[in-house]
Amino acid sequence: MVSKKEVDKFVKSQESIHLYSKMQKALTDVLLKFPNKDFYKVTKNLQIISVQEGIIGQGMVFPNPKGKFKIISIVYIPKIPLNVLRFIIAHELGHIHQGRHKIVKGEDNWALERYANKMTKEWGFPPTKNIWDWITKYMKMFNLNFPKDFPKN
Ligand SMILES: [Zn+2]
């Protein structure tokens, strides 16, 4: 069996679930049952990409010897209006354009969001009140609210 220390190290390395403690617990429980060889085989170069129910998009950038490895996850909502989906795609591509998904020292919490929004405007898909209203209403179905100071333009 793989050691608890190795499993914890892998689980900690998974940035998309760092806020989801139930996911971390379940992943730990599963991996602790793995024989060593299976553990190393499945976890080598593995990134689990998880988005909380109610969150539509996520863009992540990881270091990689052959250049940054970039991931966008988007929940496909069949009834989403095209303009909202265009904005979300442009916003997530904005995060990718910045080349990182982590805040650096000295930046405020929303620096990454402002950057992504700025890029949506440069590319011609600016956020509008109508777009934010749709996203806000969608998130409310999952009891999620935007933080009060979340930058919306
Ligand atoms: Zn964002």
End-to-end CA distance of the chain: 50
Enumerate the β-bridge partners of residue 58: 73
Q: How far apart are CA 53 and CA 110, in angstroms?
A: 21
Enumerate the β-bridge partners of residue 57: 74
CA 2 to centroid of ligand 1, rounded, Å: 36
CA 139 to centroid of ligand 1, rounded, Å: 14
CA 56 to centroid of ligand 1, rounded, Å: 10
Segment 70-74 long-range contacts (CB within 8 Å, at least 24 positions apart): 70/96, 71/47, 72/96, 73/16, 73/49
pLDDT digits (tens, 9 = 90+) for 112-149: 999 999 999 999 999 999 999 999 999 999 999 999 89
Mean pLDDT, the chain, as a whole number? 96
pLDDT digits (tens, 9 = 90+) for 30-59: 999 999 999 999 999 999 999 999 999 999
pLDDT digits (tens, 9 = 90+) for 75-119: 999 999 999 999 999 999 999 999 999 999 999 989 999 999 999
CA 57 to centroid of ligand 1, rounded, Å: 8
Annotated domain spans of the chain:
4-43, 77-140
Does residue 10 surpass a pLDDT of 90?
Answer: yes
SS3 33: coil
CA 103 to centroid of ligand 1, rounded, Å: 12
pLDDT of amino acid 153: 85
Contact 12, 29 (CB under 8 A): no
Q: Report the predicted TM-score, pTM, of the whole model to 2 decimal places.
A: 0.91
pLDDT of amino acid 80: 98
pLDDT of amino acid 74: 97
